């Protein structure tokens, strides 16, 4: 299966946005830590959690895009639905595993591990709203 140009383009957009969003969250943690060091941690645990959380979010999006690409070539609707369902379940399990590890293991910061997982969804919504405004305007 050849990677479609649209999958490459969208993955690059989401990956860039996810990296930028994670850096901004890390910056926010850093600033808040200066004012509330007891409540808001910052250090290697927070940075590592943000990096891994961002990687999991990007991997999840890329896996979803590959699945959609694959499903569009399947003519049997039942088979296509089955492939999509299996992909969704496995992607959710991957994210759940990461979240459990981020909160359970002391080498990670749970909050910073979780936050990047929401960034792709937020970016997709923002891009959708911006696209609608451009069409209306």
- Rounded CA separation 127/137 (Å): 15
Q: CB-based burial of residue 63 (10 Å sphere; 0-12 exposed, 13-18 middle, 19+ buried)?
A: middle
- The pLDDT of residue 51 is 97
- The pLDDT of residue 4 is 86
- The pLDDT of residue 26 is 97
**CB atoms < 10 A from the CB of 65, how many?**
19
83 within 8 A of 74, measured Cβ to Cβ: yes
- The pLDDT of residue 121 is 92
CA atoms within a 13 Å half-sphere pointing along the CA-CB vector of 68: 12
Q: In this structure, what token pair is assigned to residue 49?
A: 């959690």
Q: What is the pLDDT along the chain (137 residues), one digit of tens a residue?
A: 788 888 899 999 999 999 999 999 999 999 999 999 999 999 999 999 999 999 999 999 999 999 998 888 888 888 989 999 999 999 999 999 999 999 999 999 999 999 999 999 999 998 888 776 666 65
């Amino acid at each position: 299966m050849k990677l479609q140009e649209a999958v490459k383009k969208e993955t690059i957009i989401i990956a860039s946005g996810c990296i930028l969003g994670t850096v901004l969250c890390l910056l926010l943690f850093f600033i808040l830590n200066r004012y509330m060091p007891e409540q808001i941690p910052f250090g290697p645990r927070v940075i590592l959690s943000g990096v891994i959380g961002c990687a999991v979010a990007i991997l999840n999006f890329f896996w979803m895009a590959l699945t959609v690409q694959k499903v569009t070539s399947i003519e049997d609707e039942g088979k296509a639905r089955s492939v999509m369902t299996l992909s969704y379940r496995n992607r959710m399990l991957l994210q759940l595993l990461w979240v459990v590890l981020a909160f359970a293991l002391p080498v990670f910061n749970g909050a910073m591990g979780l936050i990047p997982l929401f960034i792709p969804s937020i970016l997709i919504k923002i891009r959708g709203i911006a696209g609608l405004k451009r069409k209306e305007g």
